[in-house]
Chain A
């Protein structure tokens, strides 16, 4: 018995098996890359080559179809990056402290308010920076804040955010807050409301979501109502409007009062 070489064109087993496998691969490729893409409903490829490249996963953004409808109100222009504004320099905090003198009337000398305006001490820098920018662009409307931020530069807003983030938060006593209401800890899943705590601390926190503990109840309630009615719409992608719209008055009260107590 002669020992033939397996990988050889003279070996009929080799030529036939490789031939059949290659034929199946070619047929499958033609089906997958050309025929099926061309059968796609509602898809118009310019050429066979276009269909092949699309099926192969090359990024091909569709030509802008119908005209994009623009909002007739200002929307937020802030691009959120979870890492942004971290690691502020002492110099930046110092500059922020000087700039913050104009804020003390309402937000307190050390960022703790006596006037039902937000406490800013220890607030996440991203949240402060975003709101300042939104006040400036008009995405968030406030007759009081608008003139105060009008002349702030981007660097000024970053410095202010760094300064307030650096200040110590209201001290937490924990027990005073009592048990968190269900809306904060578990939301209302049957009405498509995620828990407040999923983004605003307590359970987890989401970049640009504000730290709410110790904020005045009146302020929190007003903002939730403004989100629900659409009077405030500087939240990216309507994330707060979607939630607030579904909340009952009792839930708004419960959440506002819990966060106000939780100092």
Chain B
């Protein structure tokens, strides 16, 4: 009898421990989901909403990445779309012009190998994968000039591959956009 009751107690104790461990495991899972959701909503850590493709060999032949269509475009709804490409070993256009206080959408792709798009001092950080269009929404509050280095090693000329991004006053940008349909700050 004594022997049996001890074994019952042991089983109860074991079950309790197991239940606690299960609760910890579930709590970890829930926490991870909550963290990922929070980061997506408040830190912009969201994957791009759609997968879009572009053939790196024919970017210059047609479509939105032909050289005359690259640069910043003022859309009818007042937002700005910036299209540019990364290639060994430069960005085209190599100086990008954006206005302050305006929703900006970047649409970028690579013409050859994997490159990186990063704007210094912001959390903008994308990989440019040949074959795919990377897109990202952003908004710039203060005017200024920032650097845009390629941060994915893209072969031997990598260290020379960086661009500039110039953030200018919204009104000045609109005036320029009235004269030219695609803007950049390449001199």
On A, residues with C-beta under 8 Å from B are 1, 13, 17, 20-21, 24, 27-28, 31-32, 36-37, 39-43, 51, 54-55, 57-62, 64-66, 68-72, 75-77, 79-81, 187-189, 192-195, 198-199, 203-204, 206, 233, 236-239, 242-243, 245
> How far is the CB of B171 from the nearest CB of chain A, in Å?
21
Identify B49's interface contact among A43, A189, A195, CB under 8 A. A43
Q: Given the known A-B contacts A42-B103, A239-B87, are A189 and B160 also in contact in the complex, defined by CB atoms under 8 Å?
A: yes
Q: Indicate if the CB atoms of A60 and B137 lie closer than 8 Å.
A: no
Cβ proximity bits B160-187 to A, threshold 8 Å, 1 near / 0 not: 1111000000000000000001100011
How far apart are the CA atoms of A204 and B29 in the complex, in Å? Answer: 48
Q: Are B162 and A192 in contact (CB under 8 A)?
A: yes
Q: Number of B interface residues, CB 8 Å?
A: 62
Which B residues lie at the A interface, using CB under 8 A?
7, 11, 18, 22, 26, 29-30, 33, 36-37, 40-41, 46-47, 49-53, 57-61, 63-64, 66-69, 73, 75-76, 79, 81, 85, 87-94, 103, 105, 111-112, 137, 155-163, 181-182, 186-187
Contact across chains for A41 and B137 when beta carbons are under 8 A apart: yes
Contact, CB under 8 Å: A37 / B52? no
Task: Point out the residues of chain A lying under 8 angstroms from B160, CB to CB.
Answer: 187-189, 192-195, 198
Q: Which residues of B contact A192 (CB under 8 A)?
A: 90, 94, 160-163
Q: A39-B41, A187-B160 are in contact. Are A199 and B88 (CB under 8 A)?
A: yes
- Contact assessment for A194 and B105 in the assembled complex, using a CB-CB cutoff below 8 Å: no
Q: Is the CB of A66 within 8 A of B75?
A: yes
Contact B88 A198 (CB under 8 A): yes
